[in-house]
Amino acid sequence: MKKRILIPIIAIGIFFTTVSFKSDFFEIAKQIEIFTTLFKELNMNYVDEVTPATLMDKAIKGMLEDLDPYTVYWNEQQVEDAKINNSGIYTGIGASARSEKDKIIIVEPYKDYPADKAGLKAGDEIIQIGNVTIANLEDEAGNLLKGAPGSTVDVTFKRQGKTETVTITRGAVELKAVPFYKLINNDIGYIVLSQFNSKTTIETKAALVDLKSQGAKKLILDLRGNPGGLLNEAINVVNLFVDKGEVITTTKSVIEKYNQTYKTKSDPVDKEIPLVVLVNGRSASASEIVSGGLQDLDRAVIVGARSFGKGLVQRPKKLTYGTQLKVTISRYYTPSGRCIQALDYWHRDENGDAVRKDAKEYNAFKTKGGRTVYDGGGILPDVQLESAVYSPITTALLKDNAIFDYATKYYYSHQMADWKNFKFGEADFQDFIKFLKDNNFEYETETEKKFAEGLKISEDEDMSKDISASYNQLMAAIDTTKDKAIVDKKVEIESLLMDEILKRYFYREGLYNYQIEHNPEILEAVSVLNDAGRYRKILK
C-alpha cells in the first residue's frame, strides 16, 4: 500500500515545484494514482509475461502522440545520442545508418573513417554484429557498433545477395558542421553548413575568414538539407554578417519565462559582403532562423525552394534515471514578426492529421527595408527554383527509399572514374521509372485518401454497389496521373538521384565539387552575385 501512495505523493511534489500553479494538482494527482495502480495490476495479473519498461515506453508515446511530433521522450541511449549530435563527436564506425526490423542499412560511410576503411558501402545490410543476430534483438542494434577507440567488432552484412564479414576497428568520429567550403570563380566563397551543433559558428567563421583570405568578395551559404539544431548557434551564424545588437528571433509562449528576445552579441566578421543563402524543403528550424533572419534584415538573397516550416522551439527537461523529455516550449518569430510554422498540430482534421495553413491565409510582414514577406509556410526564397522543390511524389520517393535503392543498383552496374564526366541522361531516368515499376513502388495521394473515405461512407449508407464502377475508374485515372507526375517532376527527382549516385563514388567532396559546376541552385546563386544590379534590386 505504501508503494502505491508514495509515487503520487512524489509526483505531486515534482509538479508543485515545477509547474508553478499552472494546473489543477488534485486532478493531476488523481490521474497519476489511477495510472500507477493500473500499471501495477497489469504487471501482476496479465495472462502472459509483460515487460514493464516496454509497457511504460508505449504509454508515454501514447500520451505524447496527439501533441506536436517534436515533443518526445528520450531514454538513456537517446539522451546520449542527442549529446553526440550536439557535440558532433563520438566513438564508433563512422557511418550514418538506418535501422529496420531485422537489419541495419548503411546510408553513408564517412570518408576515411572505420566503416569506410573496412570496405562498407552505402546499401550494405548489416544482419549480425559480433555474435548477435539483429533479427533476434529487441534493443537498438546500432548501440552494438559503438565502443572504445581501438576496439574491434565483427560485422556480417549482405551486399548484392552475397553475405560477407569484416572486422572494423572503432575510432573517434567528428561530424563537421561545415563539411565543405571552396572558392568559386576566384571571388565567390561557397560554404556548406550541414547542421547546427556546438562547433557550427566556429567552423563557419573559420571558413569565411579563410575564403576571404583567398580573395572571396561574395559568398554563398548552403543550408539545403540542414535540419537545424542549436538555437544559439543559429543566432551566432547570423551575427557573422550583421551588426551587434540586432534582434534575430523572439520566442513566445503561454509560460512567461520562455518569452525571450535573442540579439546578436558580437561584432560581425563582414556586414557588407554580398550574400546568397540556399534553402530547400529539408532546411528546417535553425536553418530557417538563419535564412529568415538574414531575409528580414535585407542582408541576403534567399535562393531555392520554400523551407520546411518548423517554427517551434524545444528544450530538454531532465527526468529520472538519465531520461529526458524534449518538450516544445514556444514558437519562434523572425525579426519582422513572422512565425514560419507550416503545420498546425493543435487544430487537426477529421483524420487527426495536422492542418497545413492555406497560402491564402498567410499574413504579410515587412522586412527592415520595406520588402513584403509572408508567414505560415516556411521561408519563401526571393528566387525560386524548380530543382530545389520537394513535391508530394518526390517526398514519397524519399520516404520509400526508392532514390537510395536505385542509387545502390546504379553503383553496382556502372563504372565511374571521374565526377567531371558524370551524366544522368534520359535513358537513365527511364531506367529509374522501370525500377520503380519492377519494385512495385506505390504512394497514396491526398485525393485517393479522400475518395477512399467517401467509399467507406458509401458502404455505411448502402451506396457502394452503385458507385463502385465509377470509383474504380477514378482510381485508374489517378494511377495514370501519378505515373505522369514522376515525369512532370523529373527536374527535382533527377537532381536527387544525381546527388545520391555521386556520393556513392566520390563521397561528399566529389558531390559538392560536381554541384559547384552543375547544380541549378548554385549556378543561380552565382548568377545573382555576379549581377550587382539584380542583387540590389531583389533586396530593395
Q: What is the pLDDT of residues 114-155, one digit of tens each?
A: 999 999 999 999 999 999 999 887 667 778 888 889 999 999
pTM of the model: 0.85
Per-residue confidence (pLDDT) for residue 455, from 0 to 100: 65
Per-residue confidence (pLDDT) for residue 17, from 0 to 100: 44
CA dihedral 275→279→284→287, nearest 10 degrees, is: -10
Is residue 285 annotated as part of the catalytic site, yes or no? yes
Mean pLDDT of 77-88: 80
Per-residue confidence (pLDDT) for residue 135, from 0 to 100: 87
Q: Cell numbers 527537461 label which residue?
A: 317
Per-residue confidence (pLDDT) for residue 223, from 0 to 100: 98
* Total Cβ atoms within 10 A of residue 408: 21
**Residue of 146, 310, 489, 503 with catalytic role:** 310
271-303 confidence digits (pLDDT tens): 999 999 999 999 999 999 999 999 999 999 999
Amino acid at 272: E
Strands 72-74 and 324-333 come out as: antiparallel
CA 146 to chain centre: 23
| HSE-up of residue 422 (Cα within 13 Å, Cβ side) | 28
Per-residue confidence (pLDDT) for residue 506, from 0 to 100: 96
Is residue 182 annotated as part of the catalytic site, yes or no? no
Mean pLDDT of 178-202: 97
Per-residue confidence (pLDDT) for residue 389, from 0 to 100: 85
* Total Cβ atoms within 10 A of residue 502: 23
**Is pLDDT at 356 greater than 90 in this prediction?**
no
- Looking at domain 189-313+328-389, which CATH architecture does it have? Alpha-Beta Complex (3.90)
The residue among 484 and 24 whose pLDDT is bigger is: 484
Amino acid at 147: G
**Residue of 194, 285, 307, 336 with catalytic role:** 285
Question: Does an H or E element contain 208, and which?
Answer: helix 200-214
CA–CA separation, 528 vs 540, rounded Å?
14
Per-residue confidence (pLDDT) for residue 3, from 0 to 100: 37
299-355 confidence digits (pLDDT tens): 999 999 999 999 999 999 999 989 999 999 999 999 999 998 988 887 777 667 777
CA–CA separation, 148 vs 457, rounded Å?
58
- Looking at domain 91-174, which CATH architecture does it have? Roll (2.30)
Per-residue confidence (pLDDT) for residue 321, from 0 to 100: 87
**Residue of 68, 116, 124, 296 with catalytic role:** 296
Per-residue confidence (pLDDT) for residue 445, from 0 to 100: 65
Give me the residue spans of the domains in the chain. 91-174, 189-313+328-389, 392-521
Assign 41 to helix, strand or coil: helix
C-alpha to C-alpha distances, 220 to 184, 212, 216, 398, nearest whole angstrom: 10, 12, 10, 26
CA–CA separation, 241 vs 300, rounded Å?
9
